[in-house]
Structure 1
């Protein structure tokens, strides 16, 4: 889109109208011209950081998958800091782009130091001053640093923390029956850098992140055995058994402070909801109805949790909410087949499975977003800031992870081997 701006130009003219060098005889003539200035629709101009070839593409890619529109092309200058804009700020202002991101990298004692600034172009103000981040000089550390910087840039511009430095855990299944192999994998939030945390001959179910992003709880069912819940540190080490109980132990959910875990178990009869210390011990039964109660998930404030029950009838699962303080339990979903509930970060929305479709409801049970039929029974998971969701589907016979913005940003998919299930998004590791 282009707009015309009136530009006042003062010329020194002679009596004959010819331009001459300034003199005492020259009189200023003010001409009002229509000068066409291209006004870009991009909200952010991103100048690749000086001395860098790794971070900048990651930051640009992250920001371009949000509702922001970002460009690094056709820029009038390649400044590395706000001080280099002193004489050219009007040029940037004429572009009509509200924000400018500049930066540079340098080495310091074997590490990489990244200095960067987010500039409000209209005023020339640097938002929250110069930012600095230090990373190890290796691909893994620099990749993570790029995501952290994208988080901060997004927050400075929108006021909402970014969700790029969190990770996504998911299950990848190949084979069937006795030949089924399941892998618990973790990847960066941009769909890259996937690695296997654990692999079993059998099934893995319902991974759940700890609030600090360092541990994952999940269920494993091997041939001729009950599902058992394990807790494992993502950085390495063996998995610890959390539920050495008979029966089906499924759907772990960490409390907001990471000290407790909700889960469903049939070790005392029908499936009920239990709470246990995250380090193990004796569980406490919270819901004990004659029907089956499964898939518990804490609310962000830890004062309640949601779960699924078929108490209204066979194959008619509904979502309920239980309050710890009062012991009151109320139905949340209004009708239909509703399972796999999970809150967003402020508790205002619940992602769930509506029949065979991934969907989102508000906390009162009204459906606000239908993400469509996924082809498998998979519910979406919110990103840490609630602006995006990740869900699994089957496309062309292949398992696909889809990351979708809820406010106009770009959606993208990541395919894998076999079937992909149960993706869940972590906060940035503490």
Structure 2
């Protein structure tokens, strides 16, 4: 178990025995001693007993939890129980560890499926949180890894009251080659950086992927040689891509509406760049902005009532972020001066990730910067995890493209390198929440 200590000063008041013997009726002056001593403090919030009979999921669960503020350990535990019933008579031993939560469980096979029964125990109270949990998975490594992420989500939610963000996936662009030899791949990986797969590949450039709310589709734009950028919608689990903007001009930066029925994007096929709305399957095009400046990079608010976007209305080389309200058509400035672009909402609509000059940053809905991520080396902002407790962004380190997942509340941050240049990572919503 991971322990750390901190010092306290212990003040001890000792009566002088000599004084008491000499003058038993008088109060002796106390002798004050200050002693340094070490108090052990348990950092781990979760004791995790690997599931009996499992060889895949337990490692995934432990890894996920250790990248949150909870921290978990599976070493040095006093016992290897599979359920709360096996703690009879030993609960005080677990309480003495100082770890507030215990996760136990086991796996079994039923009709070709792997069934996992697990329990999250409040150690101090000696009770289960929401009773026994059960999850079914196909009997293959990929399905079982995903089940591990789902279980980690549930454990995190039971303890914190906040849905976990492990079962969402991250889409990103990987570029190799230059000029006419450039190849771009749209890839998807698990939220722990593993299990990366190529969804589509083009000779040219892919830009600005955006997930549908159900995590089944990704919209993105493609730029091929001697062509305009144009938007496609791709099924993540197979099948061809649908071309939804067959217009004579640039279409870029798609964003799905919260119900998945619409897409807003930036288009320049009627002159300067403006924001348009279109059905997610194409058709029913509607122009939303009509300024003479360039409006780009729209991002739907989670409630669907508005969206934010970047505009160079104030100065050609200094974009700022504005908000468009659907009901009234009212447009108001959000950012507070300076270069601000690539806005993306958090899932609860209270924060906006964006590019502040050369630095990735996060602001609140009133434009006040609340977190500065720093210069990533790319002109891109950040994308939030489903629960808003982490962000993902691309950078370049040592000539390699890197995807960084950064905790915003004390959890561990980590990076995943790839081939060539990495761009525009974006986190899908959790399909299980």
Residue 114 of structure 1 and its aligned partner are, at CA, apart by: 0.2
> Which residue of the partner structure matches residue 311 of structure 1?
313
| 1:381-430 C-alpha deviation (Å, 9 max, x unpaired) | 00000000000001111110000000011000000000000000001236
Aligned partner (choices 187, 190, 198) of residue 189 of structure 2:
187
TM-score, structure 2 length as denominator?
0.90
Structure 2 residue 266 is matched with structure 1 residue 257: no
| 1:38-62 C-alpha deviation (Å, 9 max, x unpaired) | 6522111001110011000000000
**Aligned counterparts of 2:278 and 2:105: Cα–Cα separation in 1:** 47
> Which residue of the partner structure matches residue 235 of structure 1?
237
> Which residue of the partner structure matches residue 83 of structure 1?
85
**Aligned counterparts of 1:355 and 1:40: Cα–Cα separation in 2:** 41
> Which residue of the partner structure matches residue 389 of structure 2?
387
Maintained 8 Å contact 1:76/1:92: yes
**Aligned counterparts of 1:95 and 1:282: Cα–Cα separation in 2:** 62
Residue 125 of structure 1 and its aligned partner are, at CA, apart by: 0.8
Aligned length: 398
Maintained 8 Å contact 1:376/1:394: yes
**Aligned counterparts of 1:232 and 1:295: Cα–Cα separation in 2:** 19
> Which residue of the partner structure matches residue 166 of structure 1?
168
> Which residue of the partner structure matches residue 22 of structure 1?
none
Residue 79 of structure 1 and its aligned partner are, at CA, apart by: 0.3
| 1:71-116 C-alpha deviation (Å, 9 max, x unpaired) | 1110000001011011110100011110000010000111100000
Maintained 8 Å contact 1:117/1:127: yes
**Aligned counterparts of 1:311 and 1:123: Cα–Cα separation in 2:** 59
Q: Any gaps of 5 or more consecutive residues in structure 2?
A: 7-37
| 1:89-147 C-alpha deviation (Å, 9 max, x unpaired) | 01000111100000100001111000000000001110000000000000111011000
Task: Classify the secondary structure of the residue corresponding to 1:152.
Answer: helix
> Which residue of the partner structure matches residue 148 of structure 1?
150
Give the RMSD, CA atoms, in angstroms.
1.2
**Aligned counterparts of 1:174 and 1:408: Cα–Cα separation in 2:** 34
**Aligned counterparts of 1:41 and 1:292: Cα–Cα separation in 2:** 51
**Aligned counterparts of 1:383 and 1:2: Cα–Cα separation in 2:** 33
Residues 310-329 of structure 1: pairs in structure 2 closer than 5 A: 310-329=312-331
> Which residue of the partner structure matches residue 201 of structure 1?
203
**Aligned counterparts of 1:93 and 1:41: Cα–Cα separation in 2:** 14
Residues 209-288 of structure 1: pairs in structure 2 closer than 5 A: 209-288=211-290
Task: Classify the secondary structure of the residue corresponding to 1:287.
Answer: coil
Structure 2 residue 361 is matched with structure 1 residue 373: no
Maintained 8 Å contact 1:182/1:199: yes
TM-score, structure 1 length as denominator?
0.91
Residue 374 of structure 1 and its aligned partner are, at CA, apart by: 0.6
Maintained 8 Å contact 1:181/1:203: yes
**Aligned counterparts of 2:40 and 2:322: Cα–Cα separation in 1:** 54
Q: Any gaps of 5 or more consecutive residues in structure 1?
A: 4-35
| 1:299-345 C-alpha deviation (Å, 9 max, x unpaired) | 00000000010000111100000111121100000111100001101
Task: Classify the secondary structure of the residue corresponding to 1:95.
Answer: coil
Task: Classify the secondary structure of the residue corresponding to 1:204.
Answer: strand
Change (3 A) 1:37 1:391: closer
**Aligned counterparts of 1:408 and 1:40: Cα–Cα separation in 2:** 16
**Aligned counterparts of 1:277 and 1:217: Cα–Cα separation in 2:** 12
**Aligned counterparts of 1:201 and 1:345: Cα–Cα separation in 2:** 33
**Aligned counterparts of 1:83 and 1:89: Cα–Cα separation in 2:** 10
**Aligned counterparts of 1:313 and 1:389: Cα–Cα separation in 2:** 29
Change (3 A) 1:37 1:88: farther
> Which residue of the partner structure matches residue 347 of structure 1?
349
Aligned partner (choices 390, 413, 430) of residue 428 of structure 1:
430
**Aligned counterparts of 2:45 and 2:148: Cα–Cα separation in 1:** 20
**Aligned counterparts of 1:106 and 1:288: Cα–Cα separation in 2:** 61
> Which residue of the partner structure matches residue 140 of structure 2?
138
